[in-house]
Structure formats: structure tokens, C-alpha cells
Amino acid sequence: MDLLEMTNNKIHNLKALPIPPPPSPSLSLSESHQYYTHLKQLEASNLIPFPLFTSIKLHNTSFFLSFLSFHSRTVHISELMKRVTRAGNTVLHLAAIFENLHILEPIAEHFPHLITEKNIKGDTVLHVAARSHDAELIRIVLKCYDRHFASNNNEWVMSEEEEGSGEIAAVLPWRIKNKHGNTALHEAVMACNVEGVEVLFEADESVAHCMNMEGKSALYLSVERGNYKIISTLIQAPLGDRETMHQGTSPLHAAIFARGFGERTKYSASQPLVKGWLTNEDTVSLGRSVPGRRTNTDKEILEEPKSKIISTHAAMGDVEDVRIIANANPASALEWNEKGYLPIHVACRKGHVSVVKLLVQQPWFDPMESLNPKGQNILHIAAKRGKDRVVKYVLREKKLEVGSLLNQKDKNGNTPLHLASKYLFPKVLLLLAQQKSLDVNLLNNDGMTARDIVMLIRKSPPTIRELLSYAILNSIGAPLSHKGRKLRRSQHKTPQVKWIKDRVSTILLVAILVATVTFAAGFTMPGGFHDSDNKDIKKLGTATLLNRRMFQLFTICDVVAMYSSTMGSFILLWAQLGDFHLAFSATYVALYLVGLALVTMSVAFMAALHLVVGGLSWLAYIVTIVGIIFLVMFLVLYIVLTFPLGTRCFLLRHISNFIFRIIIPFSGSYSKFKVKALKEDKDKDAWRKEILSHPDAAGLYNKSFPHFKELDKVYGKDRAISEIAEDPVESVEAMEKQF
């Protein structure tokens, strides 16, 4: 007889014993004292005796049985089985915790009501067994449950405690949930107990869709953890058994999040979900987003209560998943989310060219009909968000009617050119400006051209983005409207005197330093002078290297640098006359002269050093080559800074376009501005309401925007505030400081 069979027989015999009667009066005094001592020790509390706990933990089955036999004279075994630990664990819980199969099976066999007993965490023995990596524990519990269930005509005979608790619905042990709402299958998935998952899934496949307190099913958790073996098992669960409300936590969500966070292993493991689990129901609603970490750029899409799964994939840039979903349910690609965006709009906003290309190539796509609630097409949205790669693709796609998209107006009368100007995206403006079908004379509902918009939001001094945007629009002949000129004249901006003073001080310092160095170089010629020892009186005091070409180059460049820096310093004296406009012009002229002085001084240095090391040919060549390289760089930068950008001359315009491409990457056009992200995430109606509800909204805007007064006169206070608060990034920056 093996140990398991012996234990089973012993417990069976102990269970068959009658309830111990009270002690007989004929007992001796010592025997009676011993009886009551044992009884007092056992009834001291409702806890499992420590020796019993230790025997289970140490797998000492003999001591376990001996303890039960010894105390059977005073307490029946069924009473001992009601005892729990301070954590609420029964003997069956302990056997599962310590993986004691020789005690687990006999106890579960003879006391099946313990299978559904919970500890203080709400865990049954199945929850505990599922966390272990021994699937045999789960098999034993389920086998004992089935025997008890079959022996009672397929009815579960509950214990007295279960009958009193009213938990009749929770008689299926694999469906019982703990305090966190987790079933045993949830626990097995979280513990990556692959074999245990298979056993529990075989018992009831529909449990894979049961939700816990976080709204996550076991299938969702398997995708979240990226365990391919568990996913391949649970994905076979019948789709009809899913709970109707996923609350944003369907397994597809986990696949989306794994892809969004770049967790390639998890995403690869969850690929069967996209192909094998997708139904029309899944493309209807995402619900609330999954609790946990996420990127800022994904937050606005994933938190939308009714956004579509395909929109979320489009936001993540999942080309393959978008293709699969669109092919499975083409109508899903034409459904708006809560904010009125189609999936292609979401892809345009995020700059995912591959997704945009995929959706554009679909036979049902019509660019002129695919508008958001503001009447904006895909080019509007890409231009507004500064997604130049998307704009470039749309402009080059032959399938699209580029001319119509370019000049189409939204509800506010804005074309893509207006929106790119409003948000100051010079790269987008440059791409749009190269289109022959672009109409630069179009006005929006406020009577403004694209150039008017840039002109009105230009600060003093203007930023590089403002300068580039205005120059690009000017180069393509974008006009200024009468209304725009009027508003510009009404902007009585206070001259930035401090900025001019700082610029004058900086340029003057550089000019004086260059003049000092070049003046000193004129009297310390390389090679020295002819002294009195020279017999030729005509050469006395002249430079010894006078006839060398490099010396002549040195002299010419030194003279040009000297006089250019001196002239620049002299012109800067005009800035001291107190006239702002004169000082502004003087600084620009002085800047060009000092720039020329720096370039020629560098050439003079190269020539002088070449003369000094001329005796060593290879070193002289290196000095010359390095000097020429940096001279070319100086000239390029000098031309870029001094070239008349924005000219309409055909030849100069092409040169300007080349210079634009050099400068634009340094303009900050592609930075993820915190303020812009804040504005886009904020609901615009709530933003306007917050501004308008401020007791001194007009006063704050009057301080922040010099043209607020004129807008107030034309539109009134509320409309003026709304016009500024509608979109410009500067309004958020200014209002943040004031609030």
C-alpha cells in the first residue's frame, strides 16, 4: 500500500468515527485532566494547530495522520477541517501552497466543500494551485470536484457555511473570483503556468473571457504578457461567450499597447489575435483605455471613449494590422471616432505615411469626401500638424486631385496654406509653394490671406520660423489683403529697445576686437622687414616677403578686415542717436561689415601661416586646405545670412529654395513643443470656456497680444478672444504665464 492510499484510508476511517462523547465519570483524575487539557489546547482558538501546519509544510504525512488520530478522541476530524490559519487558509489551501499532493488529494476527496472555501484574499484552493507550476495540483482538485458532483446527481452539496453565505452562484470552482476579481485562470496566466492554463481551459473554455476588477480577461492578460503558448490556447475560446462590454480591455487592446510601446516580442505573440479574433463588434468601440503606462502622443487617441480600433492602430502606425482590419471590415475605415476623425485623419495627424498610403490606395477612398467636422481634408490635417512627409506624399500621389485638395477651404475658409502659415511650419509651406496649382490669393472667412496670418503673428524681433514662413509666402507672390494691412498698421508694438542695445553691444565688441587684431598684424608682418644691413636703400623697412603671392593675399585681406570692422564700429555710433528705426538699420549694416571682416581675417591668418611654414611643403598644403574648407563654410553661412530671401525673381527664387532647405532644420519646426501638445490635447470648447470665464480675460489678452485691441474693435471681446484662443500656440504660452 502506497502512502497516498494509506493516507486516504486513514482519513476515511477517522471521518467514519463518531463524534467523541464527553468523558466518562469513571475516568481517573489523571485521565480526566489529560482529556480536558487536550480539549482546551484545541479549542483555544479557531486556528489550525501549529503541529498540523508544520506537518503539511514539511510533507510529514505520518505525523499529520498521527496528530489527527491522537486528537480524534476529543475532536472529530470534520471539526479540525473547519479550522483556518490567520490568513484564512484551510488545510486544503495549505496543502496546495506547499504542493503536498499526499495530503491535498485525500482532504479534497473527503471534504470537497473545502474546494470552494476562500481565504481572506478571496482565494480558493484553485487560485493557490494555479499560481504554482505544478498542474497536477489543479488536476487533483478538479478530479475531486467532478467525483463529488457526479456522486450527488450532478448537484453541488454545499457546506453549512456556503448555504448561509448565499453564494450559490459560485459553485463552479474555476469561475469563483477572489477580491481582485481574478479567477483561477487569471492567476495561472499571471504566473505563466502554461500547463495549468491548459487544464483550466479544458474545464471551461468560456472562462477565458471573464473579467476581473480591472476589466481584464485572462486572454487579455496573456497578450499583455506576450506568452505565445498561452495565447494560442486561450484564443480558441468561443467568441460568443465574450462579455459584451470589454470596457476598453479586449485582447486586441493589449496587442495594440504592446505594439505601441515597441514591445516586439509581445506584439509578435499576439499577432493571431488580429487575424483570428477580429469581428465586426471589435471595430465598433475601444471603450476606455487600459490602465497603465502610455506615451503622451498615444494618450489622446486611446482615451477617446468611442474611438475605433482601426483608428488606434493607425495612430500607432501599425500598417499590417490596419490592412487586416480594413480587409476584414472595410466599413470600419470609414467610421468617425468621437472627435470626428477618420482613421486616415488620425494617421495624418501622427505622420504615419505608410498607413496613409495604404488607406489612400483603397478603392473606396475619396479624398474630397473624407472630411472631419471642420470640413478639413487630409492635406489640411497634415499641414496643420506640420507633418511634411505626409504632405509630400499627398502632393506626389497621382490618384489624388492635388489641385482640389490644395485650394479646398474648411468651415473657417482656411486652405492648407492658411493652416501651415497659422502654425508656422516652413517646411510644409515650402512644399505647398512648389505646386503650380496653388492659389495664393484665397481669403479665409475673416478676409485674410496666408501671408496676412504670418504678418499678424510676427513678433519683434521675429523668430526664425516667422522669418522663413513670411519669406516663403512672399517668394510665391502671396498678397497682403486690405484688411490685413489695416490690422498690421493698428498694431502699435512697443520697440524692443533692450534687444537693439544688446545686439549693438555684441556687434561693437566683435568689431573692436577684429580691428585691434588686424591693426596689430599690419606692423608684425610675417617674415619681418629689411633692416639697415641691407645694401639696397629702397628696400629698407619693407617686408622681406613682399613679392610672395600669399603675402600679398595676407595684406589685402588684413586691410579689408581692418577697414570693415572699423566702418562697422563707426556705423554703430548711429544707434546711439536714440532713433529706433535708424538703430535697427545700423545694426544690420554693421552686421554685414563685421561678417566680412571675420571672413577676410580668417583668410589673412591662413596666408600668413602658409608663409611661415613654407619651408615644409606638406604642412603648408595642410594649412591651405584646412583654410579653404573653412573659408567655403564661412562663405556659405555668410550668403545664407545675407541673401535676399523671399525675392520673386525666378533665378533668385530657386536659390532661395535651396537656402530654405538648409535653414529649416535649424528653425525648430519639428520639435515636440510642450505647449503645442498641451493645446492639442485640450478640448477647444473647454479651453475657450476657461478663458472666457476668467474675470480679466480681456486684460490678460491685451497684455499678451498687441493686436487684441484691434480685434476687439472689429469682432467684440468674446469673438476676439475666441479668434486668438482658437489655435495659435502663442496664446497658450502667453496665457500660461498670466494664469
The pLDDT, as a whole number, for residue 166 is 40
For residue 573, being part of any structural domain is answered with: yes
Summary mean pLDDT of the chain: 75
CA–CA distance, 203 with 175 (Å, rounded to integer): 10
Is the predicted pLDDT of residue 716 greater than 60, yes or no? no
- Comparison of pLDDT for 509 and 163, the residue scoring more: 509
pLDDT tens-digit readout, 473-513: 888 888 888 888 888 777 656 556 666 777 888 888 999 99
Q: Assess contact for 579 and 585: CB atoms under 8 A.
A: no
The pLDDT, as a whole number, for residue 681 is 42
| CA 355 centroid distance within chain | 18
CA–CA distance, 377 with 286 (Å, rounded to integer): 25
For residue 322, being part of any structural domain is answered with: no
Residue type, 529: F
| DSSP state, residue 43 | T
The pLDDT, as a whole number, for residue 678 is 37
User: The domain spanning residue 211 has which CATH number?
Assistant: 1.25.40.20
For residue 286, being part of any structural domain is answered with: no
Buried/exposed 19-39: b ≥16 CB within 10 Å, e otherwise: eeeeeeeeeeeeeeeebeeeb
CA–CA distance, 389 with 353 (Å, rounded to integer): 7
Best CA proximity match to 667, nearest among 468, 475, 482, 522: 468
pLDDT tens-digit readout, 589-618: 888 899 899 999 999 999 999 888 888 889
Start-end of H helices in 111-250: 125-131, 135-151, 160-165, 184-190, 194-203, 218-225, 228-234
Q: Assess contact for 684 and 711: CB atoms under 8 A.
A: no
For residue 399, being part of any structural domain is answered with: no
For residue 576, being part of any structural domain is answered with: yes
User: The domain spanning residue 596 has which CATH number?
Assistant: 1.20.140
pLDDT tens-digit readout, 369-398: 888 888 899 999 999 999 999 999 999 988
CA–CA distance, 384 with 417 (Å, rounded to integer): 9
Domain boundary among 642, 669, 700: 642
For residue 33, being part of any structural domain is answered with: no
- The answer to whether the predicted template modeling score (pTM) of the entire model surpasses 0.85 is no
For residue 530, being part of any structural domain is answered with: yes
Q: Quickly state the pLDDT bin for 353 (edges 50, 70, 90).
A: very high
Share of the chain above pLDDT 90, in %: 23
Q: Quickly state the pLDDT bin for 640 (edges 50, 70, 90).
A: confident
| DSSP H or E run through 399 | none
Direct distance between the N- and C-terminal alpha carbons of the chain, in angstroms, rounded to an integer: 84
For residue 725, being part of any structural domain is answered with: no
For residue 50, the tally of other CB atoms under 10 A from its CB is: 9
Domain boundary among 625, 642, 659: 642
pLDDT tens-digit readout, 183-224: 999 999 999 999 999 999 999 988 988 889 888 888 888 888
Counted domains in the chain: 2
Helices 497-521 & 580-612 angle (0-180, nearest 10): 30
Q: Quickly state the pLDDT bin for 242 (edges 50, 70, 90).
A: low
Share of the chain above pLDDT 70, in %: 68
Domain hosting 119: range is 44-150+170-239+247-271
